[in-house]
Amino acid sequence: MSYQLAQLNIARHLYPLDSAGMKDFMDALPKINKLGDDSPGFVWRLFDESGDATGIGNPFGEDVIINLTVWESVESLRGFIYQTEHLDYMRRRREWFTHEGLKGGYAVMWWIPAGHIPTIEEAAERLAHLDEHGSTPHAFTFREPHPAPTQVV
């Protein structure tokens, strides 16, 4: 069986999404999503009819934005985050987002069987597991990544 990397990150937005305070972020979102979609190793991302996940309800709160994606590897996700224009917007994240008021962590990764589409509920469970147990093969971060499971022959 082959595996792919699922990742969730969440953040509380500082202003309403349709406000002037979020304009630069919201204006860039389609471009950054396309950049991710076209990146080597990208597999899937959560989105609705608007083309992003900003309108999807989630268990973290209505003022919390979610990003749920699937990648071929930790390296492909890292390449998108840190070696593309995405990094320019990540450096500005404090203009738009905070992690204050969140119940625990804000990012988690885990391995899924290739072709599996993770749900928001699954992602929330993985984040809660990371908060409770720290980095394990079940839920981990960039700081302490775990390798994909290997098939025993």
Domains along the chain?
3-133 (3.30.70.100)
pTM: 0.94
- Chain mean pLDDT for the chain: 95
Q: How many CB atoms lie within 10 A of CB 118?
A: 19
Distance, CA of 76 to CA of 3 (rounded, Å): 13
How confident is the model at residue 103, as a pLDDT?
Answer: 85
Distance, CA of 74 to CA of 71 (rounded, Å): 7
How confident is the model at residue 153, as a pLDDT?
Answer: 43
Render pLDDT for 44-73 as a digit per residue (tens, 0 to 9).
999 999 999 998 989 999 999 999 999 999
Render pLDDT for 9-33 as a digit per residue (tens, 0 to 9).
999 999 999 999 999 999 999 999 9
How confident is the model at residue 67, as a pLDDT?
Answer: 97
Residue in 39, 149, 129, 123 with CA at minimum distance from that of residue 85: 39
Render pLDDT for 100-152 as a digit per residue (tens, 0 to 9).
988 889 999 999 999 999 999 999 999 999 999 999 999 999 999 999 998 54
